[in-house]
Amino acid sequence: MSIEERARATAKNIEGKLQEAAGEVTGDPKDKAEGKAKQVEAQARHTKEDIKDNVKRKLD
């Protein structure tokens, strides 16, 4: 498990949530969409790390 990768994914998720909220407040659909995309990217990064952890456990 890479703590650094998980931290980056969490930071990306927070960034996405903030950007989505800013888009809600300003009414900017582009910001909302970009914020949601960042959240999806963060989830994918977390999933990748979960898979790596599972493979490593099975190999050990």
Segments forming the whole domain that contains residue 27? 3-59
pLDDT of 25:
97
Q: Assess contact for 12 and 35: CB atoms under 8 A.
A: no
The total number of structural domains in the chain stands at 1
**What type of residue is 15?**
E
Residue 42 has a pLDDT of: 97
* pTM across the whole model: 0.86
pLDDT reported for residue 21: 97
CA pair distance 45, 32, nearest whole angstrom: 20
For position 60, what pLDDT does the model report?
Answer: 85
Residue 1 predicted with pLDDT over 70: no
**Average pLDDT, stretch 20-46?**
97
